[in-house]
Amino acid sequence: MPMPRALLAAPLLLVLLGLGTVPLPSEPHLTPAAAYLPRLVAEGGAPTAALLARRASTAPYDTYRSTGPGIRRADRFRAGSITKTFVATVVLQLARERRLQLTDTVERLLPGLVRGNGNDGRRITLRALLSHTSGLRDYTADPSAHPLTAVAAVRAALTHRPTSAPGRYAYSNTNYAVLGLVVQRVTGHSYATEIRNRLITPLHLTGTSLPGARTALPSPHGRAYTRDPADGDLRDVTSLDPRTAGAAGELISTLDDLNRFYSALLGGRLLPPAQLAILLNTRATHGVYGLGIYPQKLSCGTTVWGHNGHIAGSYVRTAATRDGLHTLTYRIDTDTLADARTLEPALLEAEFCDRPDSHRSS
């Protein structure tokens, strides 16, 4: 599956070696994916890489590994487009509560917001926003734009014609900027408040937050780097204004919290079976993307579900089996990973295909 283009790979719209840890007592073995961490550094060009793998089924384990001291297990980091899964979960909870319907149009809920240059909110449903089939141009595609509100982001996108016909998959951060406004219109609260009340607090995601205008990362945290396109040198971008990312990618989290969230989501703790089936339905995108989450079928036949996050100074990927019992989150402390289309599948296959029961949990 082609990896969705994630959020703010350039500086925030300019943008949005040996294993160094000792096994914990609860870790009886080296998780297979950990062997690939040095490749993320040597071949991928990442300063530091880390992962947390957890399996709750047979032969359970909880294993953290890092290539060095640059990333610690408890560190907070920017999770980029993984924010989308949180937003999508809230929208489906609201649908369950009959406060909205996925067939509602943008025009019905946000009159007059999406109009002009061939963009028509009367033809775009919430389902289309969630699945990236709206055709709305990605506002982050214009490096000269620095919208600090969702409305400004949508207006930036509307200066262009749709990038595709409605109903055709085209990943666009604008879709989730609109969804953030929808949540606020329906609930009377910001999407950040709804995510905190519905997901972060009930799941005890103590390292997860939505920073709003706060430019600093909460402690503890490491550094975040981006490569200068002029000379290739690493530049520190730990502090940045996350408002440009908004509902499309402002989330801050930890390795533990992301594993816990996806395990709870896929395990049915956040959505009942009917809504979870809708979340995972990829028919509209021909198997590429569900609603804020996407599948990746591995060579062994196992399909993992999750999302990636790409923002200035950070790349992260979470994947989990369909039952949520086996999860993996890995991250690097830069937004540039060379040869990601080779290294990431290899890492996922090492984790999810090299286990005796990996096929049974797909």
Instruction: Characterize the bridge pairing of strands 49-55 and 326-332.
Output: antiparallel
Q: What percent of the chain has pLDDT over 90?
A: 77
C-alpha distances (whole Å) from 126 to each of 62, 91, 122, 166 are 37, 9, 11, 12
Question: Where is average pLDDT lowest: 98-107, 230-239, 346-355?
Answer: 346-355
| Residues catalogued as catalytic | 81
Indicate whether 256 pLDDT > 80.
Answer: yes
Indicate whether 331 pLDDT > 50.
Answer: yes
Residue 351 has, within 13 A of its CA and on its CB side, a CA count of 31
- CB contact burial 67-99 (16+ within 10 A = b; e otherwise): bbebbbeebbbbbbbbbbbbbbbbbbbbbeeee
Question: Where is average pLDDT lowest: 37-51, 78-92, 284-298?
Answer: 37-51
Contacts made by residues 69-72, CB under 8 angstroms, sequence distance 24+: 69/20, 70/222, 70/223, 70/333, 71/222, 71/331, 71/333, 72/220, 72/222
Put residue 110 in one of left, alpha, beta given phi > 0 → left and psi -120 to 50 → alpha.
beta
Instruction: Characterize the bridge pairing of strands 252-253 and 225-227.
Output: unpaired
Mean pLDDT of 231-241: 93
pLDDT band at 354 (very low <50, low <70, confident <90, very high): low
C-alpha distances (whole Å) from 309 to each of 82, 167, 170, 245, 297 are 5, 24, 17, 11, 19
From CA 339, how far away is CA 110, in angstroms rounded?
41
Mean pLDDT of all residues belonging to the chain: 89
From CA 259, how far away is CA 301, in angstroms rounded?
22
Closest among 88, 77, 89 to 330, alpha carbons compared: 77
Please tell me which residue, 3 or 20, carries the higher pLDDT value: 3
Please tell me which residue, 360 or 202, carries the higher pLDDT value: 202
The tens digit of pLDDT for each residue in 185-207 reads: 999 999 999 999 999 999 999 99
Domain spanning 11-84+191-361: which CATH class is it, in words?
alpha beta
Question: pTM for the whole thing?
Answer: 0.91
Indicate whether 297 pLDDT > 80.
Answer: yes
Q: Confirm if 114 and 121 have CB atoms less than 8 A apart.
A: yes
Please tell me which residue, 13 or 20, carries the higher pLDDT value: 13
How is the chain split into domains, by residue range?
11-84+191-361
Closest among 158, 33, 45 to 106, alpha carbons compared: 158
